[in-house]
Copies of this chain bind each other. A is one copy, B any other.
């Protein structure tokens, strides 16, 4: 595999707490991508995209805009190939995340915090580098197929998975996973922060549910999932995703972060707790019951812990409030 040697084969975690709270007989598995180098799954797509460049392209370097995990991933992958890298970050990006990308030797350029400024600045920077390649965080087939490697690993590590729950923003991860897992008969569920309205998009067939707000960041504590519509590539692959979307509010996310700490000993960013929170929703329980009734039970459920990048102080303030009803 192209990415081998540049990404970590992340472990799969178990939780008796989760097992006990799902439909009887269910086993829950957690693919620990927060333990991936750079602290998120994003490295897989970035490595796949960057190592597929020709030597000629690679020589000119790569460029990306990101306020978070994609920045560190592209910087790390570029460093692995020893090529130039510029990361455009919107003003207001936490210093820790800027430092994370800079630590891999990337040049950091700060721009205004609007989508337009980000796109424009990254194009300018790419030109300045003599034609650097832009690495999109999700709307890119190579990025998507790179993210799919986590499903290939998961299915090797853990046999007979019936369903995978995947945190979904622009859809790069879920479409990569679905492409890899669907041929094995695995159902792929999207987990989303409340307000993203992905279920509505899937049922109406309109990629952008509300054009007026499409570019405005989603209001959620899951700062890694602020994108509302799926990207176009993910949208084209939407038939691989279950129509039932698992929506999670901020209070449930905070409770799941707390549970991940106290029950699973994992410190994660809000998006990293999204799949656990989604697994605990009545909507997912209903899916399990329906599947049972249809004679095709969902007994082995995997969830993706997609990232863990958060500073201690922010984490502490988020987890100090939430509690699960148990």
Interface residues of A (CB under 8 A from B): 8, 11-14, 16, 32, 34-35, 37, 39, 258, 261-262, 264-268, 308, 311-312, 316, 319
Contact = CB atoms under 8 A, between A and B. Distances in A.
Given A13-B35, A14-B8, A312 B258 contact: yes
Nearest 5 CB-CB pairs, A to B?
A11-B11, A265-B308, A265-B267, A261-B267, A34-B265
A265 B266 contact: yes
A16 B35 contact: no
A8 B34 CA distance: 21
A39 B39 CA distance: 23
Contacts of A37: 16
Contact of A264 (B13, B35, B311, B316): B35
A266 B305 CA distance: 13
A195 to B, nearest CB: 27
Contacts of A311: 262
Nearest to A14: B8
A12 B11 contact: yes
A149 to B, nearest CB: 17
B319 A312 contact: yes
Contacts of A267: 261-262, 265-267
Nearest to A258: B312
B312 A262 contact: yes
Contacts of A316: 316
Contacts of A265: 34-35, 39, 266-268, 308
A194 to B, nearest CB: 25
